[in-house]
Amino acid sequence: MRCDRQVVRRMDRSIDAPELVIGADTVVTLDGHVYGKPVDKQDAFNMISKFSGRTHHVYTGVAVLRRLQYGRWATDRFAEVTAVHMDTLPADVIHSYVNTSEPMDKAGGYGIQAMGGTFISGIEGDYYNVVGLPIHRLCKLLYRLYGSKDGSSER
């Protein structure tokens, strides 16, 4: 998540820079290979074919940038991993899915929150991590950083 520094440099030039910026990026791994978003339908087909009948891992890196005094920024980062078990899929099912264009903007070429979720037989870990933002862990971090309305940060 080195792009967080680039974001800070751009925001420092902005008068209306926000107090908080959250960035996340998700990738999928299988057999030592890293898969991002497919570049075309053939790439999506190839990705899903490789995942078919196997367990792959979804990683999301999250960076939270907080504005401090005097134009300084603090960055907190974490990564989450979820194991995803995909059912064995016939080629015609994969082709039909790829032709919906749903896979084109998703890491790993499928969307668990939509039609792609019908291919998943189970997961171990955070469902929302597979969607693209591990919201539970993010909220725990924000609560730790900002505490409750009464000023405590106990949870």
In the set 4, 16, 25, 43, the catalytic residue is: 25
- Nearest in space to 80 (alpha carbons), one of 106, 59, 51: 59
H helix or E strand, kind and range, residue 131: helix 127-131
Is residue 40 part of the annotated active site? The answer reads no
The tokens of 105 are what? 């903007």
For residues 110 and 130, is the Cβ–Cβ distance under 8 A?
no
Strand partners for 57: 29, 83
Residues serving a catalytic function are 25
